[in-house]
Amino acid sequence: MRDIIVAGNWKMNKDHLLTVDFCVSLALDLQKRRTDGLKVIVAAPYPFLDAARGAFGDSVGMVAAQDVSAHTEGAYTGEVSAYMLASLQIPYSIIGHSERRQYHHENGEEIRQKLIRLLENERIPILCIGETLKEREEGLTNKVLETQLQEALKDIALEDGRELYIAYEPVWAIGTGKTATADQAQEAHAFIRGWLKGGYGAEIAQNIHLLYGGSMKPQNIAELIAQPDIDGGLIGGASLIYEDFLAMIDTAIIQAKTE
């Protein structure tokens, strides 16, 4: 059975002290709860990854990077490699977020290289895919998802137990307050799982965690994660507010128990 994942994507927010304060409080609150079947992840900005990891201690809280270099090492000023993340014991990294695709012009091949670097270093990629509003309105949602999956996963083997998470994040729902309905989200997630089944077989497809992202908040998380192919959320804005993030964790705990 898949775990329920509550992942916060802080983007370029918070500072060192706010990060430590948040993660120390969260570690304490998580220790008071029954967290079997639940994974809590915070994607903090690079400079605070190690502090966040230290603040989580041995709680179930885990840290993700928000991006990683497509290169292994060398003269790439400003880049952070998957090996560096491994050396800090940061288990996850987001890749292919629509803000990186849009503002940093990342293409499918670059995202594939990032995914390879993470797998080489035994890190778990959280691959983001999703359509724009125009693409949805033109009926291209599945085509876009398929293309982004094909580009990122071309020639990638997962048969040896390597882990991968995929976040379906419709671009029109990110930071806009517009959430996909539970039906729309489930439909996209079912398409993604079906595609994975075609490429990797039923067993691997069943084990890949699929997250929904796009204006997820305490008021809508329950309905979304109750869907059969939605295994949790990648949460931006609402993950910055401690009480909201904890409320979403509590909803996920209830969902994890009922599965």
Catalytic residue among 110, 131, 169, 209: 169
Q: Which is nearer to ligand PGA, 125 or 236 (CB)?
A: 236
* DSSP string for 120-187: HTT-EEEEEE---HHHHHTT-HHHHHHHHHHHHHTT---TTS---EEEE--GGGTTTSPPPPHHHHHH
Q: How far apart are CA 222 and CA 131, in angstroms?
A: 23
80-88, 186-194, 197-205, 214-222 -> range binding ligand PGA (CB under 6 A)? 214-222
Minimum CB distance to ligand PGA, residue 174 (Å): 4
Pattern 132-171, ligand PGA, x by CB under 6 A: -------------------------------------x--
Please pick, from the candidates 4, 5, 6, 9, the single residue that binds ligand PGA as defined by CB under 6 A.
Answer: 9
Using CB under 6 A as the binding rule, whether residue 96 contacts ligand PGA is answered as no
Q: Which is nearer to ligand PGA, 204 or 222 (CB)?
A: 222
Please pick, from the candidates 216, 224, 252, 253, the single residue that binds ligand PGA as defined by CB under 6 A.
Answer: 216
Using CB under 6 A as the binding rule, whether residue 211 contacts ligand PGA is answered as no
Please pick, from the candidates 61, 91, 130, 213, the single residue that binds ligand PGA as defined by CB under 6 A.
Answer: 213
Q: How many CB atoms lie within 10 A of CB 31?
A: 13
Q: Which is nearer to ligand PGA, 214 or 232 (CB)?
A: 214
Using CB under 6 A as the binding rule, whether residue 91 contacts ligand PGA is answered as no
What DSSP element (H or E) covers 62? strand 61-65
- Tell me the angle at which helices 141-153 and 108-120 cross, rounded to the nearest 10 degrees: 50
Q: Provide the Cα torsion 155, 159, 160, 164; round to 10°.
A: 70
Please pick, from the candidates 129, 192, 235, 252, the single residue that binds ligand PGA as defined by CB under 6 A.
Answer: 235
Identify whether 105 is a catalytic site residue: no
Instruction: At 20, list the tokens.
Output: 């430590």
Q: How far apart are CA 115 and CA 126, in angstroms?
A: 9
Using CB under 6 A as the binding rule, whether residue 174 contacts ligand PGA is answered as yes
Q: Which is nearer to ligand PGA, 175 or 228 (CB)?
A: 175
Q: How far apart are CA 51 and CA 46, in angstroms?
A: 10
Residue with nearest beta carbon to ligand PGA: 236
Q: Which is nearer to ligand PGA, 24 or 127 (CB)?
A: 127
Report yes or no: 4 and 252 within 8 Å, Cβ to Cβ.
Answer: yes
Identify whether 79 is a catalytic site residue: no
Angle at 136 between CA 189 and CA 173, to 5 degrees: 70
Residues that bind ligand PGA (CB under 6 A): 9, 169, 174-175, 213-216, 234-238
Q: Which residues are catalytic?
A: 97, 169
